[in-house]
Structure 1
């Protein structure tokens, strides 16, 4: 077969060309590097078109009506997806994409075994010519197929297809831009389709959540557009940075102490971690709202069990009702600071010693005073306002100085959920010096462990003039 002998030779030639070009990248200018990138992308589109076309052929030869004579089943694969994935080494998702777009670009199989006219000739021509990427082609075909399913005439669908291809190539649109254009065009052509599409999306909304074998709580969700908008807007609002300037409103230079403090206490979370923390914070705030449902007169409460020895030493683990995986003592200490948590203490023999109550928590009046005093999370460079903060005992609630705990405003500071958790689990310490909360860095950051005054406290006394 001609392609069986030509393709390996072409592949070998391509390897040589790619190796030669990449070896000389260091000597190219910035513009030349970008040109090479564009050239590689153009070549890749040609190869990708071939991948899609071959996958489409595999799909046709593996169609269900062929039974055991179909290509995938004759090769001992239960589906063409698994066959393509195995042969190409690609993921199941990528294999599905290739098969789907390849199938949609092919004409219908006629009774005599031949192929009917291509349903999307403009996309097929641009794809085979290497000027349209597979991702963009898939978007155009998917949106135009929706118009066909809605009963639009072939002429209207063909016009929409040609418009999307022309606009993409003429204006050098990215796949994301083409997707937005395709959605807009679909709504212009078929405005009555919005209601049935929304009904379908409403039926698909879901949230599944449960504990995995590794102890993490994992899940999947699918949100309708309006639900997703609420989630995204809430996350963006809570993560929006607040830029502090000078009293006059203009920018100001940081002092050396401020620069050191901000650098040492930088937030190193990934965006995904920030999103998880933000959603948790939103749920926790909603759960504590006055109009939330009560159980036995109390708001949402975590029931935590831990031995007295583990609580006093800060070692070992605690257990949360309903969760199989234990949590470390540091997490228990964090929860005891501000969460409505009922902590049951046991001795080594399992006898109940004390069942904690929420009197340990700072009162609403105290929290209002702390909000006025601190203005939000006291961690340097953190912008969380008081309403998003938890109250932390600067001198630990269980300590040598204050065995029963001291819940006074001169021993309380505001910390956001993330920095509160970070403080309890890291080597950082927080203490009160002359009435001002100070962070003590670990020795690996500052061998002298020089206390860093917090930056959000608003009532620090200024020296008399």
Structure 2
């Protein structure tokens, strides 16, 4: 305790020093020295935590575990407490060189965690000598590698210290990892919250993840000028687009005797006057403008009711861009017609320029191809679409974007 008290006084003296007066050389040297001291202090802390755990102090204080006791004692998060107790135990039973290196400040806490993880994962057949050798290789490499790179090096450390068993061990580890990933695979869709969001979570094995990535990557890039979506937003849109494409194919199995489809229930006045809400078949509510957008093409079938709830229309075929009309639309537009967009026809919906609920006809002169992202832009962000004198679509930007309202066209698909 006397030593710790003196160390505390020295730190107080450092804390009271104005660092602005230091030269750049002294500033960097001080930063390096503080970092080394920080790691050495953590080594002392971990030794104390391990002793506390070994003595079962937590139980004597009424706590269910050392991590729970540490959380309350030091007022740290539960995760941080668990990681501290885990690392203290790993250093105690792992190769001695790791704890010694941390105590000297040669490795950092996260590097020590990586090294103990790697050595603990080595096969039992490797033997103590090989494990100690691997730990020493990683400790030496910690001078040049941050934790992430050190972990990647650790994945191949057996090839450096015991090549005769490395290949067999790697195959066994890979087989076990594949089986574990396959067993743990899952996807969960939560119910929509009050903010209208649905949480999608899950895990995939490497093979399935590669398939999903191969499907999403080609369509998750920016879709032209003005696309300010984040990478995560683009991937979310791409996932929905892939599912829509699957619905397009008609190859999905029936669901309860019906072809897979999305049904939107909406009052006819709501659809026409754009006042009120609509309901998906799962109970989720949508704004009327969203309904007008999703009702444009064949993959979403609206169930339109009168005031008494009588079904007036369920998937009225005369409003859908299918067959020869769809092919003519593809020939004319070549893909999404929004200026600057390169999305091909298979990722694009037919959009009524004058909405069918407002009396617009389902014909080539009242249609334009739009990808899912720009379909939303046109319905929600104030863009206007029209056919020019030459019969090709052009877009009028909202006033906030271009007060002159200069028409714009998509030249990506080689239109004039």
Matched, 1:334 2:320: no
2:34 alignment partner in structure 1 = 43
CA positional deviation for 1:266: 1.4
Moved more, 175-184 or 80-89: 80-89
Return 5+ residue gaps in structure 1 as ranges.
108-118, 243-261, 461-465
CA positional deviation for 1:332: 1.0
1:406 alignment partner in structure 2 = 361
CA positional deviation for 1:209: 2.1
1:246 alignment partner in structure 2 = none
Q: Is the 8 A contact 1:46 1:128 kept in 2?
A: no
1:458 alignment partner in structure 2 = 414
**Aligned partners of 1:45 and 1:234: how far apart in 2?**
47
Number of equivalences: 406
**Aligned partners of 1:375 and 1:7: how far apart in 2?**
73
Residue 368 of structure 2 aligns to a residue in which SS? strand
Q: Is the 8 A contact 2:383 2:395 kept in 1?
A: yes
Matched, 1:394 2:357: no
Choose the corresponding residue for 1:275, options 235, 239, 243. 235
Over residues 296-354 of structure 1, what are the superposed CA-to-partner deviations in whole Å (9 max), with x where a residue is unaligned?
A: 775420111111111011232111112x3311112211211124222122334434333
**Aligned partners of 1:433 and 1:24: how far apart in 2?**
69
Residue 265 of structure 2 aligns to a residue in which SS? strand
**Aligned partners of 2:378 and 2:349: how far apart in 1?**
12
Q: Is the 8 A contact 2:58 2:69 kept in 1?
A: yes
Residue 356 of structure 2 aligns to a residue in which SS? coil
**Aligned partners of 2:202 and 2:132: how far apart in 1?**
35
CA shift in 2, pair 1:140/1:450, >3 Å: same
Q: Is the 8 A contact 1:122 1:161 kept in 2?
A: yes
1:178 alignment partner in structure 2 = 150
Choose the corresponding residue for 1:155, options 129, 133, 143. 129
1:123 alignment partner in structure 2 = 98
CA positional deviation for 1:362: 0.7
Choose the corresponding residue for 2:45, options 50, 54, 57. 54
1:224 alignment partner in structure 2 = 205
- Which aligned pairs between 1:75-224 and structure 2 lie closer than 5 A? 75-88=61-74, 90-107=76-93, 119-148=94-123, 150-169=124-143, 172-186=144-158, 189=166, 190-191=169-170, 192-214=172-194, 215-224=196-205
- Which aligned pairs between 1:360-399 and structure 2 lie closer than 5 A? 360-399=319-358
**Aligned partners of 2:281 and 2:200: how far apart in 1?**
19
1:463 alignment partner in structure 2 = none
Moved more, 312-321 or 93-102: 93-102
CA positional deviation for 1:16: 4.1
1:250 alignment partner in structure 2 = none
**Aligned partners of 2:153 and 2:246: how far apart in 1?**
37
1:2 alignment partner in structure 2 = 2
1:436 alignment partner in structure 2 = 392
CA positional deviation for 1:395: 2.7
Q: Is the 8 A contact 1:143 1:186 kept in 2?
A: no
- Which aligned pairs between 1:190-339 and structure 2 lie closer than 5 A? 190-191=169-170, 192-214=172-194, 215-240=196-221, 266-295=226-255, 299-322=259-282, 324-339=283-298
CA positional deviation for 1:363: 1.2
**Aligned partners of 1:437 and 1:282: how far apart in 2?**
26
1:111 alignment partner in structure 2 = none
CA shift in 2, pair 1:167/1:458, >3 Å: same
Q: Is the 8 A contact 1:42 1:130 kept in 2?
A: no
Residue 337 of structure 1 aligns to a residue in which SS? coil
CA positional deviation for 1:419: 1.8
Q: Is the 8 A contact 1:374 1:456 kept in 2?
A: no
**Aligned partners of 1:351 and 1:11: how far apart in 2?**
79
Choose the corresponding residue for 2:401, options 422, 438, 445. 445
Name the Cα RMSD after superposition: 3.2
**Aligned partners of 2:135 and 2:36: how far apart in 1?**
19
1:255 alignment partner in structure 2 = none
CA positional deviation for 1:96: 2.7
CA shift in 2, pair 1:235/1:49, >3 Å: farther
TM-score normalised by structure 1 residue count = 0.76
Q: Is the 8 A contact 1:59 1:99 kept in 2?
A: yes
**Aligned partners of 1:42 and 1:417: how far apart in 2?**
55
TM-score normalised by structure 2 residue count = 0.84
CA shift in 2, pair 1:57/1:318, >3 Å: farther
